A and B are shown apart, each in its own frame.
Chain A
Amino acid sequence: MGFHQISVRVNGNDEIITVASNLTLLRMLRETLSLTGTKNGCAAGECGACTVLLNGEPVNSCMVLAVEVDGQEVITIEGLAKDGQLDIVQKTIIEKGAVQCGFCTPGMLISARALLNRNPHPTEEQVVEALVGNLCRCTGYSRIIESVQAAAERS
């Protein structure tokens, strides 16, 4: 099986990595770069636990090959805070108590950040649509949706 050398910017750091053809972006982040905030849930593009930003757009990192991100930019949950300050959606999700087990939270936050980047003032329906690909088995979603709305109001 072939290996490929790629250069990729992850959370602002330039990395040069040798990856196998079948290595997913998810595994590269978790196993090669030890960025374990990105979670492996279904490995089939359905649960959204592995959502990261690829060139600013949210993707399921289990559905992207590491070799495909050569020359591109990835932001994971570890890269959401800036200068020691949590992102506003991170703050509101804590304030609203919208976390129980926390497994879905990194993916939720990345999807929420991507939504607010493209639409700073979404309606509740637009928040729901943006989070359709992020499954939560604990909270029942209400507080998560409220957190995103609160973040939009404050930013």
Chain B
Amino acid sequence: MTSAHPGLPEFDYVKPSDLSEASQFLALHVSDARPFSGGTDTFVRMRDGFFNPKYLVDVKNLEGTRILKFDASEGLTIGSAIPMNQVVAFSEAAAYYPLLVDAAKSVASYQLRSRATIIGNICNASPAGDTIGACLAYDGVLNVHGLDGHKKLPLKDFFTGPGKNLLKPGDIVLSITLPVPPKGHAGQYFKLGRNRLSDLSIVGVSALGYKDPSTKSGFTFRLAIASVAPVPFIPTLAEEILSTEPLNPDTINRAAQAAMDAVTPIDDVRGSAQYRKYMVRNLVKRAVNELQHKLTA
């Protein structure tokens, strides 16, 4: 039950001075400490009683968390402390990663995005996370610091269930790197909410497409769908149909149907499972049509 009382339950605020101290603290207090950055999800869930950590560990000031840079060979790296608004305002993100910027702009409100982060969205591992689909479509790799030092985790293997991910005790995600995307690609995030702006998604379709002479259709499409499965969902059969068959209305219809058949949504307060399935079909079709239009215009 949500309380309108402004108070948070009691906890100790901890601000480690370096990465190894942070990882060791989190590993030592594995069941009663939680890292946080923007806090936009953490604080709400604490108020609602979903968790009650003894320690909140502020990881915003650690080395490597404030990076925001684009490199023509490595791509875009976004630190875990970078709020979504800063990513949206970063000119190279808008120029080279339009799908990500589109998705980030759809999250809640401007003032929430002053604090909310893309890494936070990823680590919460909500199937509804708006920016996760774009990070998947761009083949993101997480840069993580743990008890054994630095490591990389590909995002596509990261999610293991609703709210669950591959992070081990002591692991802190420092940043995500999105490789340089295919030249001339187009992207679009189609989000269906209960209102036009600011709501969580009933269904969210992240779609990226580019001309690809190596495929039979001449195109490659990458799709990721939010709020339709226990984890952010990639409809691989739909993607395959779109690259192996001539791109025409019939192919697009069959790909959209394949996506609809593959998702396993639940009924919840935002929509029924059956409605979500139909919306997956409609939005995948609309997304592919839109991308085809952009790529051939």
Q: Which residues of A contact B (CB under 8 A)?
A: 1-2, 4, 20-22, 24, 26-27, 30, 40-46, 48, 51, 54, 57-60, 62-65, 67-68, 111, 114-115, 128-130, 132-134
Contact = CB atoms under 8 A, between A and B. Distances in A.
Given A2-B12, A2-B13, A64-B115, A58 B110 contact: yes
Given A45-B112, A68-B58, A111-B110, A22 B40 contact: no
Interface of B: 2-13, 38-40, 43-44, 47, 56, 58, 85, 108-112, 114-115, 197-198
Tell me the interface secondary structure of chain B in the complex. loop
Contacts of A26: 6
B13 A27 contact: no
A21 B6 contact: no
A11 B56 CA distance: 28
6 contacts: A21-B56, A22-B11, A48-B109, A63-B112, A65-B13, A115-B110
A107 to B, nearest CB: 8
A63 B5 CA distance: 13
Q: Is the interface of A mostly helix, strand, loop or mixed?
A: mixed
A21 B111 contact: no
Nearest to A40: B6
Contacts of A44: 2, 44, 47
Nearest to A24: B6
B4 A42 contact: yes
Contacts of A114: 110-111
Contacts of B40: 45, 63
Contact of A43 (B5, B111, B198): B5
B189 to A, nearest CB: 15
